[in-house]
A and B are shown apart, each in its own frame.
Chain A
Amino acid sequence: MSARNPGMNLDLEWVSKVRVNTQAVLKRAQQIQGQKLPKKQWQAAWLLKAVTCIDLTTLAGDDTPSNVHRLCLKAIQPVRHDLLKEMDMHDKGVTTGAVCVYPSRVADAVKTLKAANSSLPVASVATGFPAGQTPLETRLQEVRLAVADGATEIDIVINRMLALTGQWEAMYDEIRQFREACGDAHMKTILAIGELGTFTNVYKASLVSMMAGSDFIKTSTGKESVNATYPVAIVMVRAIRDYFLCTGHKVGFKPAGGIRTAQESLVWLTLIKEELGNDWLCPLLFRLGASSLLADIERQIYHHVTGQYAAYHELPMA
């Protein structure tokens, strides 16, 4: 499909022109949330699409090879085979978009997936996740090591200090260096929107990240007090649209943090469809960062297929 976003020179004039009207964005978010969600087989199909866009994530201090192993196998078979077969979707390669782990667990994940003959990408957070408050040199080294371990997607966090103080040039340079360190690995840039203050800042940070060559922009680490909200997502996808209209490059979008229910995943897909169009509704350009979401989606699919509500223990754990 399309080539990666190569980035461009920093265009500060463009960044300075950004205007965001907060109440209009909030109103739009309400309106999207108020839209009727798909039902019946449309719902099932949309939920499966959501599954293929999930970055199945575990980012905890107590991660060990065994739970990473479980996570990877769940990612390969996210929905029970018999349920998929009922819908004639068992042979359509339904897996999650990727698994997402800490740098130290990348090797474990790569090993499991390789053993399972899966080409599922392994994503790693890096650059002093989640705060990003470590020296640039260690952050760059972290990226390089994760890539060396076999991660094909790197979720970097931006330096909030630079964004909040308006040092866009410095931020651009940092992200540029991360992109270089990533090499062929796709780079997802986490804006940590909960700590950026205003929508205008979110928009500007999105633009600068894309100019610096991000393949994805991502809302939050999941560790801030405010995570992926619909209004902030609207601001970010509008920045993506803006960038696309000006450069012709499609940058992906990844909301993360606090997305737990199947219902929410449908709203997210609606939001992307409305604001960016169907092109963005694929794992190449849209990811949902989540851990417990998959279980709820699987229950909804179970209900669609069987007409019964499943107990959690009826569906395989991650």
Chain B
Amino acid sequence: MAGSTNKTVHDIFQSMESGPAAASSTSTAQAWLNNNSHLLGLFIDGKSDVPANRPSRMLTDCKGTQLCSAVVAVEEDVSVCASSSLSGFRTWSELSCSQRANVMLRMVGVLGQHGVCVSEMFDLCDAACPPASLVRLLQFYSSWAQLRGTLIPGWTPLGVVLVVVSDDCSLYNLMIKVLPALAMGNSVIVVPGLRTAAPALLLAQLFTAAGLPAGALNVLTGSDPSLGATVAANPSISYVTYSGNKQDGVTLCKATAGFGVPVSVSSILGARCPFIVFESSDIDSAVDAVIQSAFNKRREVHWVLCVQESVQDRLVSRLRLRMSGMKSVGLQSEEERFLVEAAVQEASSRGATLVQSCAPPPSGAQYPPTVICGAAPSSPFVVCPPPGPLLPLLTFRSNSEAVTLANHSPHGQAASIWTEELTLALETAKSVCVGSVCVNSVSVSDPCLPVSGHKDSGSCTDGGAEGLYQFLRPSSSSSPPLPRSSRLSMDYSHFGSAAPPAIIIPDASASAPKSLPQLVCPDGGRKDVRNAVEAAAKVQPGWMKKSPSARAQSLLSLAKGLEGKRRDLSSSIVQTGLSLDKADEEVELSIARLSDWAAYCDKVQGGTPSLPLSGSALSLPEALGVVGVVLPDKNPLLSMVTLLGAAIAYGNAVILIPSEKSPLPALTFIQVLQASDLPAGLVNVITGSRDQLTAALANHSVIKAIWYWGSAEGVQFLQHSCSSPLKTLLLSSQQKGGKGARDWTHPSVLEEMGRNAVQWKSVWIPTA
């Protein structure tokens, strides 16, 4: 800076350079930090608390200079915090809906009063959450708080929700978890990351000042994300949800496996996302968007520029022109620079050409924005994107190839599509397998858009009305929460590998069906699962594309088939030890259940959320894909048709592992399936050792979701091994004697399972 202040007017007149960026004031935020003696404490029970004799962690601002330090919570603090959250939950959930909504609206007012401090603090910590979007979040969720009782009857809050984020996660992504949890009446413990610690503590103070009861929002700071697992181990926690990078998410999943607490993950950071430019696009605007989004220091995803071959040259020449004069982007460290340079070097050695804004500076943790033309999906820097402002450019020939290229990635976070053709835009938006699609725009987020991370990018839905359900459970006691347990010591690699005992079906009695062989139940294995997944994956896309009414017809025909076989089925249930009356009743309920699902097929619909921006948004329910279901022992037929119906009604294919104890109803049901008009491969039934088949399901990456009823070991195994690639898990551990088991006859099961059978995509089409 010292040199530039000597520039004369004439120098600048000649060079027309822009002056140095004026440093924005941070005095108010600094004053707040001074007030706290630059040592931020934990926020427990409505007040800031700096316990003595704790280690602390240095927090830095966006330029890497020291800002303040934060106390590192230890075991003792965690239990104090958890009991505070429990009492906070009681107070908060006992308030009426409108009282909670009022508190949230008052938060908006308090934010306004302390607007300068808040926005300075956000800037200082690079929190990437403009106060205006925080206000939007608060207003959106306060309206849901107000109407929870009216619009979501029959659901209650979970209890204490733990929100964990990684160090690099933005405040916006933290708050889009915290605020809906609060709005639904839960109390929340936040374990913030490096970037969000100071802002989260400031917000907790302000929210408490706005009337949030003590304990409803507690903040625990730690030295690294492992604190999340320590907190999750506390039995008061009902639900853990994580947002941030993939790696920390996996660590958290593995560390919390076996605690008996459900964990959901939004791996929103670091995903590889397609930026598709068709020849029918406004290329200049697309280039603008690339420049705005692809090279930021704090970009959340790695964009991959996919360009139609016919306009590649036009796009690259514009990029070259627009990028000239862009300054180098700061990196986290010298090591990062080394990684970036290695990637660029390798790209060049494979014949890629570079578009660089300027030559890389000789040293220092910075690198110029760089587009790597001539990349291919197999290029190492595309497969495993390095940090830094690198943008690979791929080309495609046709519209359908664009979709193939975009979908050929383990991630499913977001996509940006550029075309002026409405039909092409919508077709592409529907075909790309991601949670958030922006047409002719990039990275537009709003709390009214429901977004599920597809594939490896997430196991829950955030935003929209749909995103509220992760913080709710049906109020009828029909679905018990996972019982808290302590972690078992187990060898994950050997789970399910023990030789299964041969399952011998009880000897033929008078009521045994004559059509079934009375010998040994088929003992399916890993290969059978593989074949089933293959068949299911093949048929599922076509099934999903069928109209809801066509799916309904198939389910109705299944119900009819069941009716025809009701005698065989009820005698197969009798074999599991039920009385004939009870068995008949279960068959009748199962027939009714299938008819219910047929009717539900067209009832989960997308919508048109209204954003505070000009344009049209769509929210679209989509099938998960192939779902593995390990069925419960209780109500073997009813539970099976309930889960099967949920899955296929919304377009999934399913692999059923019948109960080890009572497989006969499922085997009898196979005949009904065979006689139905369901496409072959849509429903697969594999009997055998539950553990072995569960391990096989867990190890197949095509399976997106597993619904599991089984042992505590099985639950722990799945939580541990389904974190990468990520699977959406719905877990129940069956206790001895069927204690606390789900009531399958209760109608609330339908809505709950239906919600678990879809994932959400939102499409944003801005218009002038």
Given contacts A19-B420, A22-B768, A36-B21, contact A41 B12 (CB under 8 A): yes
- Determine the distance from Cα of A39 to Cα of B19 in the docked complex, in whole angstroms: 7
Evaluate contact between A24 and B285: CB separation under 8 angstroms: yes
Inter-subunit contact B289/A38 (CB<8 Å): no
With a CB–CB cut-off of 8 A, which chain B residues contact A269? 16
Whether A23 contacts B440 by the Cβ 8 Å rule is: yes
Residues on the A chain within 8 Å of B485, using CB: none
Known: A23-B768, A42-B19, A277-B321. A92 touches B13 (CB 8 A): yes
Check B321 against A238 for contact (C-beta < 8 Å).
no
Known contacts A19-B420, A42-B18: A24-B321 contact under CB 8 Å? no
Complex alpha-carbon distance, A59 and B285, angstroms = 36
Q: List A contacts of B21 (CB < 8 A).
A: 36
Task: Decide: B12 and A23 in contact? CB cutoff 8 A.
Answer: no
Taking A28-B288, A45-B10, A46-B16 as contacts, is the C-beta distance between A20 and B318 under 8 angstroms?
A: no
Question: A49 with B420: in contact, given A24-B285, A28-B285, A39-B19 (CB under 8 Å)?
Answer: no
The interface residues of chain A lying within 8 Å CB-to-CB of B280 are 19
Bound together, the chains give a CA A92 to CA B285 distance in angstroms of 38
Q: Which residues of A contact B22 (CB under 8 A)?
A: 36, 39
Determine whether B615 belongs to the interface, using a CB cutoff of 8 Å to chain A. Answer: yes
Q: From B285, B289, B318, B441, give the contact of A241 (CB < 8 A).
A: B318
Please determine whether B325 and A277 come into contact, CB atoms closer than 8 angstroms: yes
Is A281 close to B, CB under 8 A?
A: yes
Q: Is B282 interfacial (CB-CB < 8 Å)?
A: yes
Asked if residues A24 and B19 are in contact (CB atoms below 8 Å), the reply is: no
Task: Please tell me which one of the listed residues B19, B292, B314 contacts residue A38 in the complex, with CB atoms under 8 A apart.
Answer: B19
Report yes or no: A42 in contact with B12, Cβ–Cβ below 8 A.
yes
Please tell me if the beta carbons of A38 and B325 are within 8 angstroms of each other in the complex: no
A24 contacts B16, CB within 8 Å?
no
Whether the pair B16, A273 counts as a contact (CB closer than 8 A) is yes
Instruction: Report the nearest B residue to A239, measured CB to CB.
Output: B284
A40-B19, A48-B13, A88-B9 known; A21+B440 contact, CB < 8 A: yes
Contact A49 B16, CB 8 Å, known A20-B282, A23-B440, A277-B325: yes
> Closest approach, in angstroms, between the C-beta of A189 and any C-beta of chain B?
21
**Interface: B767 (CB within 8 A):** yes
Residue B281 interfacial (CB < 8 Å): yes
Q: Looking at the complex, which one of A19, A27, A49, A245 makes contact with B13 (CB distance below 8 Å)?
A: A49
Please encode chain A, from 177 to 192, with 1 for each CB lying within 8 Å of some chain B CB and 0 for all others. 0000000000000000
A238-B284 in contact (CB<8A): yes
Give A177 to B557 CA distance when docked, in angstroms. Answer: 76
Let me know if B768 and A26 touch, CB within 8 A: yes
- Return the CB mask of B265-295 against A: 1 if under 8 Å, else 0: 0000000000000001111110011001000
Chain A contacts of B284 at CB under 8 A? Answer: 238, 241-242
A241 touches B321 (CB 8 A): yes
Interface string of A250-272 (1 = CB under 8 A from B): 00000000000000000001100
- How many residues of chain B are within 8 Å of chain A by beta carbon? 38
Chain B residue at minimal CB-CB distance from A24: B285
Contact between chains at B440 and A24 (CB < 8 Å): yes
Contact of A45 among B9, B282, B283, B324 (CB under 8 A): B9
Interface centre among B9, B11, B292, B440 (most CB of A within 10 A): B9
| CB-based contact B440/A281 at 8 Å | no
**Measured between C-beta atoms, what is the minimum distance from A289 to chain B in Å?**
20
CB of B7 within 8 Å of the partner chain: yes
Q: Are B440 and A87 in contact (CB under 8 A)?
A: no
Does A278 make an interface contact (CB < 8 A)? yes
The 8 Å CB contact of A41, one of B7, B18, B288, B441, is B7
Residues of B within 8 A of A26 (CB): 768
Report A91-136 residues with CB < 8 Å from chain B CB.
Answer: 92
List residues of chain B with CB within 8 A of the CB of A41: 7-9, 12, 19
Q: Which of B727-768 contact A (CB under 8 A)?
A: 766-768
- What residues of A have a CB within 8 angstroms of the CB of B292 in the complex? 31
Asked if B9 and A23 sit within 8 Å, CB to CB, the answer is: no
- Within the complex, what minimum Cβ distance (angstroms) separates A116 from chain B? 23
Task: Indicate if the CB atoms of B321 and A245 lie closer than 8 Å.
Answer: yes
Q: Which residue of A lies closest to B287 (CB)?
A: A238
Q: Does A170 contact B (CB under 8 A)?
A: no
Among residues of A, the one whose C-beta sits closest to the C-beta of B767 is A23
B375 nearest CB across to chain A (Å): 23
**Is residue A89 contacting chain B, with contact meaning CB distance below 8 A?**
yes
Contact of A45 with B13 at beta-carbon distance under 8 Å, contacts A19-B281, A28-B285 already known: yes
Contact A88 B19 (CB under 8 A): no
Cα-based distance from A232 to B508 in the complex (angstroms): 84
> A44 touching B318 by the CB < 8 A rule?
no
| Cβ of B76 under 8 Å from chain A | no
Roughly how many angstroms separate A238 CA and B282 CA in the complex, as a whole number? 11
Asked if A10 lies at the interface with its beta carbon under 8 angstroms from chain B, I say no
Give the complex CA separation of A314 and B289 in angstroms: 46
A290 to B8, CA, bound (A): 27
CB-nearest residue of chain A relative to B615?
Answer: A23
Residues of B within 8 A of A (CB): 7-13, 15-19, 21-22, 280-285, 288-289, 292, 314, 317-318, 321-322, 324-325, 420, 440-441, 614-615, 766-768
Q: List 30 A-B contacts (CB under 8 A).
A: A19-B281, A19-B282, A19-B283, A21-B285, A22-B767, A22-B768, A23-B440, A23-B441, A24-B282, A24-B441, A24-B766, A25-B282, A25-B285, A39-B19, A39-B22, A41-B7, A41-B12, A42-B7, A42-B18, A45-B12, A45-B13, A46-B16, A48-B13, A87-B8, A89-B10, A92-B10, A92-B13, A241-B321, A275-B322, A277-B325
